[in-house]
């Protein structure tokens, strides 16, 4: 299988904070091991030396990535590579890819991977636009472009059962039927972030929690900050908050200044340390491994979280709001509906050694089917 993997890198200056790049960097070598001939077209090379690389420009904003796919460049690219499969990691670009294939006279299957859903569902079933893609009222246009992309795909790949249900429902409301082309292919775990749960240090009455998610407002960072205040005041818990972005460009700050605002707010809290991995995966691992448990984001419409999997692979139990994929994936003992419940779970993890050991093992076990080789096999099966 000759596979062209189109990758938009939204954080080229801090690749460790770009989940799409991390996904490709882990998956494409495993696809190559499985016999695929893979070329990645991206602003930076992903995968190992066996994976082909075609350099592309990094879009300056998230809206350029969705509305300016660069049709001329796509035509030239498919003429050179002559792929049998094109993976569109920006689903909105699928119609342009279809047009490029027609113009280049190349017959290839288009697979759209839904790394990000531009919507969520309220408890009453209402479809709500993602606020992070609604600057200037563009949210509805992004949603329609996403639906057009789904319609142009031969395969639609999603992370989880939750994401499959949401994507199918949203597409149907816009007149797009994806039932026959939908496949679940979760993201691979990073084998550098895996250890035997027997090596995990059990808390002795005090624990360190880690929050390793982007500090955007739409990730529910304000709700996390409120919980952090409660944990500092009421639980034998200290917190490490990851600053994954470092210094962002003025253009990205102009579009959304919330990460900088929340970083300063969290740094001012008692018993909270803001730490940076400086873009170093080894340092990132060490920061996670020095904690006892993770805290999931409060993001509405969360279809998957590689940061949650990072913690679990290291044997860290993750506490989470009972919502979205988190409610599908996290052990029920660690899910909460209220801040009172979250504090109680954190206290128990810090003080009940047996409870902690059980959930450290369960956390690790929940990632065992996510090795790059296993995910690559599921991925290729979906593309056949």
Q: How far apart are CA 270 and CA 238, in angstroms?
A: 9
Q: Whose CA is closest to 130, among 62, 186, 37, 181?
A: 62
pLDDT at 177: 97
* DSSP characters over 37-82: EEEEEESS--S-TTSEEEE-PPPSSHHHHHH---HHHHHHHHHHH-
pLDDT in the model for residue 14: 75
Residue 252, pLDDT score: 79
Q: Label the pairing between strands 37-42 and 109-113.
A: unpaired
Mean pLDDT by 10 residues, the chain (384 residues): 93 78 95 97 90 92 91 96 97 98 98 95 91 94 98 98 96 96 97 95 97 94 97 97 86 86 96 94 96 95 92 98 95 98 98 98 98 97 94
How high is the pLDDT of residue 249? 76
- pLDDT for res 61: 85
- 317's tokens: 């139990």
φ, ψ of residue 52 in degrees (nearest 5): -65, 155
pLDDT at 246: 82
Question: For the chain, how far is it from start to end, CA to CA, in angstroms?
Answer: 9
Helix (H) or strand (E) holding 255: helix 250-255
Torsion angle, alpha carbons of 367, 369, 375, 376, to 10: 130
pLDDT at 175: 97
284: exposed, middle or buried (Cβ count in 10 Å: 0-12, 13-18, 19+): buried
Instruction: Report the pLDDT value the prediction gives residue 244, as an integer from 0 to 100.
Output: 86
345 and 318 Cβ atoms separated by less than 8 Å:
no
pLDDT (0 to 100) of residue 19: 87
115 vs 306: CA distance, rounded Å: 11
Q: What is the pLDDT of residue 216?
A: 92
Instruction: Please give the pLDDT value at position 365.
Output: 98
The percent of residues above 70 in pLDDT, for the chain, comes to 100
Work out the number of other CB atoms within 10 angstroms of the CB of residue 254.
11
**DSSP annotation string for 96-157:** HHHHHHHHHT---EEEEE-SS-SEEE-TTS-EEE-GGG-GGG-HHHHHHHHHHHHHH-SEEE
Query: In the prediction, which pLDDT does 245 show?
Result: 84
- DSSP-assigned states of every residue in 112-129: EE-SS-SEEE-TTS-EEE
Compute the C-alpha angle 219/224/229, nearest 5°. 160
CA nearest to 267, candidates 316, 234, 221, 336:
221
Asked if 296 contacts 322 with a C-beta cutoff of 8 angstroms, the reply is: no
What is the arrangement of strands in the sheet containing 85-88, beginning at the earlier edge strand?
52-55, 37-42, 2-6, 85-88, 109-113, 155-158, 182-184
Distance CA 345, CA 320 (A): 10
Token couple for 288: 């996670």
């Amino acid at each position: 299988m000759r596979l062209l993997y189109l990758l938009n890198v939204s954080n080229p200056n801090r690749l460790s904070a770009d989940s799409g790049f991390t996904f490709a960097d882990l998956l494409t070598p495993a696809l190559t091991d499985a016999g695929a001939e893979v070329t990645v077209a991206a602003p930076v090379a992903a995968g190992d030396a066996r994976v082909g690389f075609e350099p592309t420009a990094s879009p300056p904003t998230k809206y350029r990535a969705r509305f300016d796919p660069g049709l001329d460049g796509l035509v030239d690219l498919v003429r050179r590579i002559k792929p049998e499969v094109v993976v569109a990691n920006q689903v909105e670009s699928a119609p342009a890819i279809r047009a490029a294939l027609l113009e280049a006279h190349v017959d290839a299957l288009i697979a759209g991977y839904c790394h990000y859903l531009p919507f969520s569902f309220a408890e009453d079933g209402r479809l709500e636009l993602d606020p992070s893609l609604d600057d200037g009222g563009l949210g509805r246009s992004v949603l329609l472009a996403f639906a057009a992309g789904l319609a142009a795909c031969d395969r639609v790949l999603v992370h989880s059962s939750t994401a499959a249900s949401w994507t199918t429902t949203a597409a149907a409301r816009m007149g797009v039927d994806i039932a026959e082309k939908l496949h679940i292919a979760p993201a691979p775990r990073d084998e550098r972030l895996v250890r035997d749960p027997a090596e995990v240090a059990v808390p002795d009455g005090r624990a360190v929690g880690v929050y390793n998610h982007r500090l955007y407002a739409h990730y529910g960072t304000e709700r996390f900050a409120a919980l952090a205040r409660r944990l500092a005041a009421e639980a034998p818990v200290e917190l490490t908050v990851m600053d994954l972005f470092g210094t962002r460009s003025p253009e990205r700050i102009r579009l959304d200044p919330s990460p900088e605002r929340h970083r300063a707010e969290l740094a001012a809290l008692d018993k909270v340390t803001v730490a940076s991995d400086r873009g170093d995966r080894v340092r990132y691992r060490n920061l996670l491994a020095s904690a006892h448990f993770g805290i999931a984001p409060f993001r509405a419409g969360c279809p998957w979280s590689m940061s949650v999997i990072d913690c679990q692979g290291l044997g860290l139990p993750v506490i989470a709001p009972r919502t979205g994929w988190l409610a599908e994936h996290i052990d029920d003992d660690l899910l909460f509906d209220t801040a009172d419940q979250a504090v109680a779970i954190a206290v128990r993890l810090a003080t009940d050694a047996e409870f902690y050991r059980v959930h450290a093992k369960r956390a690790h076990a929940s990632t065992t089917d996510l090795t790059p080789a296993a995910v690559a096999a599921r991925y290729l099966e979906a593309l056949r």
